[in-house]
Structure 1
């Protein structure tokens, strides 16, 4: 029976969600059948659109003035943490507490691309950015205070991507200067080195996880198509061409077992959506 269910799963076509997008999107999910998507609008503010399980909302302005893509994560029901690169090249933070949005909080730093964020526990946040030295830098919230900045090395182009598939676990991805996909992970006690996953990518990647030890990575290829590579718990797949033609980095989230939602900015500057279900 499980094999039959698995066989029925497939990728949808592309759905046009409109809007006027000027950087790669971000997406988070705080429950099954809930999606919150964030984009940079033509006014450089962050705009928000959500799926409530039945229909898509209109667009809501969350203000701010950001450069590059935003980043978002949900660490619990009805909680969202949103990050962006400000015009001062600092990291900025805004959050939804279940009833209202906070203002924007300046977390400092000198960042040179859109950020990435993951969460491996309630009230835990791990944020990753590209620094002025092109290294990957890390800052985290431990439930009561923000850390300083940790240099994780490497030399990356464009925004990183990050996801947590279990307590104390983080997987981070970036585009190297060779245009390959590179991978680094935290196992709960130490950081790995950098792993070269190949490919020819032309923007920052996206990553999601729908189960322990499962990773789905998405990139923009040299043909501007969406390409997909996954870790099944023991080995990496080859590259799968998911088509489309888009700008900037994709965004991806998993809101349940064997479910993935991917978003991109189309060449028409609309938000486009594709799902695995």
Structure 2
């Protein structure tokens, strides 16, 4: 099973070719892309946007790409490109005032939904009124939050949003049915130093990950495990990148305080974890992982010198190559 990437700076197209997005040193959103799967990269092309954070992109059911960015006034703006179009449209404001970069998901009906944390620590959301529809007014879902949320979608269209609160505990709010209201925030425990990451397993269970103040990576199944976090060690920092592979097995990739990438993976679904593997690198921020057309993983990151760098597997579950520069320089 190929991992699904929501709201990532890197995304596969309908043909499997990848596109990457970043914020340039001159203050605009830029993109680089492959003309075919596993081909060389072309770029960077400036797209404007006045980003204050990192752009996020989603692929819609018809193959169009929609790009979102938090601008220099902490407002969300969006631009899109049709599947068969070579030109990006104009940036359009979505309003709102947010403190962190948004998370964007594609609902089963094809409509997009956006989540972010406001300046006063509340979870706020807006969504399209149906596929390609207008955006709704921003809805305040409460909370006393810090950082960027993580959103899990289930096959029935319901969503769960996880975020770190002001005390470092991970909390969750959920929908009981698709399109319905949201539950009160429920604390899940933990003392975490960074934002959570989630992936939805084939059976609908959500695997929730976060790095604790003790530099361990922790994992919890939701619902399940009696609300207990399991420590996986690691001596790591930041938010992990997650890949859901064959038979529902998860690979977690996390950077260390020094910027090197480390990885651990499940031997079988819902079971034990491997020893940590050191994959090198000197990353200035959290990694991103996507699946290529053949199912092998590719990891992207921004190096300490501002270059976007990439690390590839030779085949699914295979060996990792060496870090290399993607195209040019970006700011972290």
Shorter-chain TM-score bucket reads 0.7 to 0.9
Partner of 2:122: 90
Q: Distance in 2 between matches of 1:69 and 1:50?
A: 18
Partner of 2:219: 183
Within the candidate set 142, 155, 158, 1:121 is matched to 155
Partner of 2:283: 245
Within the candidate set 153, 166, 173, 2:202 is matched to 166
Q: Deviations over 1:31-80 (max 9, x none)?
A: 59666554433332234466766668467343322112322322325232
Structure 1 unaligned residues grouped into runs of 5+: 1-8
Q: Distance in 1 between matches of 2:67 and 2:307?
A: 13
Q: Deviations over 1:98-119 (max 9, x none)?
A: 1132232111111022111111
Q: Distance in 1 between matches of 2:278 and 2:63?
A: 25
Change (3 A) 1:193 1:211: same
Q: Distance in 2 between matches of 1:171 and 1:160?
A: 10
Structure 2 unaligned residues grouped into runs of 5+: 1-36, 316-332
Mapped contact 1:181–1:197 kept (Cα < 8 A) = yes
Q: Distance in 2 between matches of 1:265 and 1:94?
A: 29
> Is the counterpart of residue 156 in structure 1 residue 192 in structure 2?
yes
Secondary structure of 1:168's partner?
Answer: coil
Displacement of 1:122 in angstroms is 3.0
Change (3 A) 1:257 1:236: farther
Q: Distance in 2 between matches of 1:223 and 1:52?
A: 40
> Is the counterpart of residue 44 in structure 1 residue 77 in structure 2?
no
Change (3 A) 1:78 1:227: farther
**Higher alpha-carbon Rg:** 2
Which range is displaced more, 153-162 or 250-259? 250-259
Displacement of 1:199 in angstroms is 2.0
Displacement of 1:258 in angstroms is 2.2
Secondary structure of 1:129's partner?
Answer: strand
Secondary structure of 1:203's partner?
Answer: strand
Q: How does 1:253-272 map to 2 (within 5 A)?
A: 258=295
Q: Deviations over 1:115-139 (max 9, x none)?
A: 1111122321000011122111010
Which range is displaced more, 50-59 or 60-69? 50-59
Q: Distance in 1 between matches of 2:294 and 2:62?
A: 9
> Is the counterpart of residue 72 in structure 1 residue 104 in structure 2?
yes
Within the candidate set 260, 268, 273, 1:236 is matched to 273
Q: Distance in 2 between matches of 1:14 and 1:236?
A: 37
Q: Deviations over 1:209-257 (max 9, x none)?
A: 355523232323323355444335355343352736333x445566988
The number of equivalent residue pairs is 267
Q: Distance in 2 between matches of 1:40 and 1:273?
A: 24
Secondary structure of 1:113's partner?
Answer: strand
RMSD of aligned residue pairs (Cα, Å): 3.9
Change (3 A) 1:190 1:204: same
- TM score, norm. by length of structure 2: 0.64
Structure with the larger RCO, 1 or 2 (CA within 8 Å, 6+ apart): 1
Partner of 2:238: 203
Within the candidate set 57, 60, 63, 2:95 is matched to 63
Mapped contact 2:300–2:310 kept (Cα < 8 A) = yes
